[in-house]
């Protein structure tokens, strides 16, 4: 058990809809990272937050946004969903802004019908 | 573009044998490398890491070797067990960086 909690485990929705994925980092970790894992792109970094502030951004679509709350949990919002957004979305956490290793949750599997 | 990639997509070994999983990286500025194990339905699980000022690091049954000259990383698993069956990813990050860049992954299958 990594200590990183993600909910929900599975999400099924339709094109055009909006969903919110939630992540609670390990106790004591201030950094949260979001990654997308798809069959054709592998594991890709989306965005990082540290202590409530955006720290780094990867190839995250404009339709996607994230935030980190004062209690350090984070949410990834995906809107105007397309079939190609079907993937596993992982959250990871680490102690500091650039500290390693990152510890991963078990992900949310998003299926767009 | 810059990437971290794996040489082989699949590896099949007999229980008790040693396994070697390879990884090539392209960015000579990378200074931190990490191996993750991902079992079906689970997230990547940290196995072992190594910084660029080291050539070798050992853990319990696992060893990571780093060859900066040829930009190559390997994970050795001793006495491979059925529970080691999973996909293994290498990942790298750069100085002052935080994001991990992952390789493609190698599916390790351990036959009893």
Question: At CB < 8 Å, which residues of chain B contact A?
Answer: 32, 34, 36, 41-46, 49, 89, 91, 93, 96-105
Q: B7: pLDDT confidence band, cut at 50, 70 and 90?
A: very low
> What does the pLDDT look like over B29-48, one tens digit per residue?
899 999 999 999 999 999 99
Mean pLDDT of chain A: 95
Q: 10 Å Cβ neighbour count for A3? A: 13
Q: B4: pLDDT confidence band, cut at 50, 70 and 90?
A: low
User: Average pLDDT, stretch B105-109?
Assistant: 94
% of chain B at pLDDT higher than 90 = 79
* Chain-chain contact of A101 with B104 (C-beta, under 8 angstroms): no
Number of H helices, E strands in chain A: 0, 11
Q: B67: pLDDT confidence band, cut at 50, 70 and 90?
A: very high
| A68 vs A78: CA distance, rounded Å | 15
Chain B residue with the nearest C-alpha to that of A57? B99
* Chain-chain contact of A102 with B100 (C-beta, under 8 angstroms): yes
Q: Is B104 within 8 Å of B9 (Cβ atoms)?
A: yes
Q: Is B55 within 8 Å of B65 (Cβ atoms)?
A: yes
- pLDDT of B1 above 80: no
Return the percent helix, strand and coil in chain A, to nearest 5. Answer: 5, 55, 45
- pLDDT of A23 above 90: yes
Nearest to A101 among B34, B97, B104 (CB): B34
- pLDDT of B74 above 60: yes
Whose structure tokens read 């995250």?
A: A60
Between B9 and B44, where is the model more confident?
B44
pLDDT for residue B81: 97
Q: Decide: residue B20, CB within 10 A, 0-12 exposed, 13-18 middle, 19+ buried.
A: middle
- pLDDT of B6 above 90: no
- What is the per-residue burial (b if ≥16 Cβ within 10 Å, else e) of A51-78? eeeebbeeebeeebebebeeebebbbeb
Q: Which residues pair with A28 in a beta bridge?
A: none
Between B76 and A39, where is the model more confident?
B76
Single out the residue of A63, A27, A70, A79 nearest to residue A49, CA to CA.
A70
- What is the per-residue burial (b if ≥16 Cβ within 10 Å, else e) of B54-72? eeeeeeeebbbbbeeeebe
- pLDDT of A66 above 60: yes
Q: Is A102 within 8 Å of A94 (Cβ atoms)?
A: yes
Whose structure tokens read 């930009």?
A: B71
- pLDDT of A111 above 60: yes
User: Average pLDDT, stretch A62-81?
Assistant: 98
Q: B2: pLDDT confidence band, cut at 50, 70 and 90?
A: very low
Backbone angles phi, psi at B83, to 5 degrees: -70, -10
């Amino acid at each position: 058990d990594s200590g990183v909690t993600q909910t929900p485990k599975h999400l099924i929705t339709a094109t055009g809809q909006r969903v919110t994925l939630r992540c609670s980092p390990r106790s004591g970790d201030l950094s949260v990272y979001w990654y997308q894992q798809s069959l054709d792109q592998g594991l890709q970094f989306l965005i990082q937050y540290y202590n409530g502030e955006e720290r780094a951004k990867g190839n995250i679509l404009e339709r996607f946004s994230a935030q980190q709350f004062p209690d350090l949990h984070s949410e990834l919002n995906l809107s105007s969903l397309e079939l190609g957004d079907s993937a596993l979305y992982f959250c990871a956490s680490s102690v500091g802004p650039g500290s390693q290793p990152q510890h991963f949750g078990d992900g949310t599997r998003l299926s767009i019908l | 573009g810059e990437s971290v990639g794996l040489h082989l997509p699949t590896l099949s070994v007999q229980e008790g044998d040693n396994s070697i999983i390879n990884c090539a990286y392209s960015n000579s500025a990378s200074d931190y490398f990490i191996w993750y194990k991902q079992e079906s339905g689970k997230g990547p699980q940290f196995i072992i890491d190594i910084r660029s000022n080291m050539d070798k690091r050992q853990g319990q049954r696992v060893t990571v070797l780093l060859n900066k000259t040829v930009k190559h990383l390997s994970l050795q698993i001793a006495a491979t067990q059925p529970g080691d069956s999973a996909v293994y990813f290498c990942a790298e990050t750069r100085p002052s960086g935080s994001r991990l860049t992952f390789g493609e992954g190698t599916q390790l299958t351990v036959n009893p």
